[in-house]
Amino acid sequence: MLTRAAADAFARQWIRAWNSRDIEQILQHYTDDVVVSSPLIKAIAGEPSGTLRGKHAVRDYWSRALSANPDLHFVLQHVGVGINSVILKYRSVIDLLATEFMELTPDRKISRVAAHYNQPDLETAQREHAEHSAWLWVSHVTPILNVSDFAESMAWFEKLGFRRSWEWGTPPTFGAVGSGEMEIFLCLNGQGGRGRSALPRTGGPDGSDDQEKGVWMSLWVEDVDAVHARCVERGLEVTMPPTTEPWGVREMHVRHPDGHVLRISKGLSCE
């Protein structure tokens, strides 16, 4: 029987593979003769049966799906454990809430998949997808932060765990830091506001959103507590320690020297 720990580890790896957008990494989780059934296969791929058989067929379908959804990001919400199967509930493409039944082989490869969606949500999402793709398709959203010291801000983000992506100007006044597939632009003395409050906290009973003048951003990670430990080790200003919130996330806040607040969060499974 599949254990809870093994099911959770499998789910995290599966979500991580999809969010990497690497088709080869995704396909490593499936058997060569996998059978995949989904309403999206019938509605979007045009396959009347709604079922694809074998890696060759699903590779083509998923490759086209990845190309059509450059901002694809799955958010895991629940893991159900069976004898040799799991059920994963997650926020999917086109903002659909998906539930997938996955039958597993002894070596934890997926041999059969059945995806489920709420029919009204599916119809609405298909209609909105068709309408939006005709006039607006946003592939990325990149925050731009007004900073008072460009070099210091670059160093601050590197302490947090970001990489230095690029810089412009001599000396540089504009640039980007990155993590995974996302970037944040930094602009010296321009493009937005900044400003910090004197409050010790940005969240919780003694915090105040009204007094914060910087940008707030929500970043989704695998391990909030590990990020918190790094922030403490590097001397960054944590304004709210890791807290399990009633709306189903574990979250912490870290504040940039110019008052920008990063909400570091992880969605929790609903047990």
Per residue in 226-251, pLDDT (tens digit) is 999 999 999 999 999 999 988 888 99
What pLDDT sits at residue 271?
Answer: 41
Who has greater pLDDT, 122 or 100? 100
Kindly give the pairing relationship between strand 182-188 and strand 216-220: unpaired
The Cα 216–Cα 255 span in angstroms is 9
Q: Provide the whole-model pTM.
A: 0.50
Q: Does 171 sit behind a cis peptide bond, omega within 30 degrees of 0 on the bond before it?
A: yes
* Confidence at residue 139, expressed as pLDDT on a 0 to 100 scale: 52
Residue 138 in this model has a pLDDT that exceeds 70: no
Question: Are 252 and 241 within 8 A, CB to CB?
Answer: yes
Tell me the pLDDT of the chain averaged across its residues.
86
Among 72-86, 118-132, 166-180, the range scoring the smallest mean pLDDT is: 118-132
Describe the crossing of helices 224-234 and 150-160 by its angle, rounded to 10 degrees. Answer: 130
How many other C-beta atoms lie within 10 A of the C-beta of residue 235?
Answer: 8
**pLDDT for residue 11:** 93
Query: What span, in angstroms and rounded, lies between the C-alpha atoms of 270 and 163?
Result: 33
Hey, which bits of the chain come out as E strands?
A: 30-37, 51-53, 75-81, 85-91, 97-104, 110-116, 144-147, 163-168, 174-179, 182-188, 216-220, 237-244, 249-255, 261-267
In this prediction, residues 70-95 reach a mean pLDDT of 88
Residue 129 — pLDDT band, cuts 50, 70, 90? low
Q: Which region among 26-30, 114-118, 129-133 has the lowest average model confidence (pLDDT)?
A: 129-133
The answer for residues whose C-beta is within 8 angstroms of residue 170's C-beta and 6 or more apart is: none
What's the pLDDT tens digit per position in 2-59? Answer: 898 899 999 999 999 999 989 999 999 999 999 999 988 876 666 788 899 999 889 8
